Amino acid sequence: MKVEKLCNFYASKYHLSIILLEYLKEKKSKKYSVVTFLQDEIEDELNVLRNKYKYDINLTKDVDFKATKDIYRKEIDSSKNTIFIVEGNLNYINEANEYIDSFLEKNSNAKIVNCYNFSHQKQFMRDIIAKSDKILFTTGEKVID
């Protein structure tokens, strides 16, 4: 099983939306399915950015950017190459990661992108980074060394 954990720190919902649109633009060509666990909905921000900056609607048409009220009702197909986007407070992210881990099979190829609001999590950044393989920036992934 190859599971990569990425962390991301964002300043606003628009900042997070731009990061995710750029990341998905790069990754969708590699045949990943995308599953989201979002404590805060970002669909409105994504729609504004899609219209303003002419992002390809096909890039995210099958991705749910509404808030996930009940983590345990989200369906996961563990047989595909999957990108999991998880956004919320520490408790929400930890709970979603445990749920995701319970579904992943030995041959799963997955990326788990844990997105943290910088202003709420800045005191925990060092710990979050230490538990991650990479950091996701607007410009892409960077290996943590």
pLDDT digits (tens, 9 = 90+) for 104-113: 876 678 999 9
Share of the chain above pLDDT 90, in %: 57
> Is pLDDT larger for residue 140 or for residue 95?
95
Which residues are CB-neighbours of 7 under 8 A, at least 6 positions away? Answer: 113, 114, 115, 116, 128, 129, 131, 132, 134, 135, 136
CATH of the domain at 89: 3.40.50
pLDDT digits (tens, 9 = 90+) for 95-130: 999 999 988 876 678 999 999 998 887 778 899 999
Distances (CA, A) of 49 to 26, 52, 119, 141: 17, 5, 22, 21
Q: How far apart are CA 47 and CA 133, in angstroms?
A: 30
**How many independent structural domains does the chain possess?**
1
pLDDT at 56: 79
Residue 87 has pLDDT above 80, yes or no: yes
> What's the domain range around 123?
2-143
Residue 1 has pLDDT above 80, yes or no: no
The model's pTM: 0.91
What SS3 class is residue 87? Answer: strand
The alpha carbon of residue 58 and the mean position of all alpha carbons in its chain are separated, in whole angstroms, by: 18
* Position 75 confidence tier, pLDDT thresholds 50, 70, 90: confident
Q: Which two structure tokens, joined as six digits, stand for 38?
A: 């979002």
Q: How far apart are CA 51 and CA 90, in angstroms?
A: 32
pLDDT at 29: 60
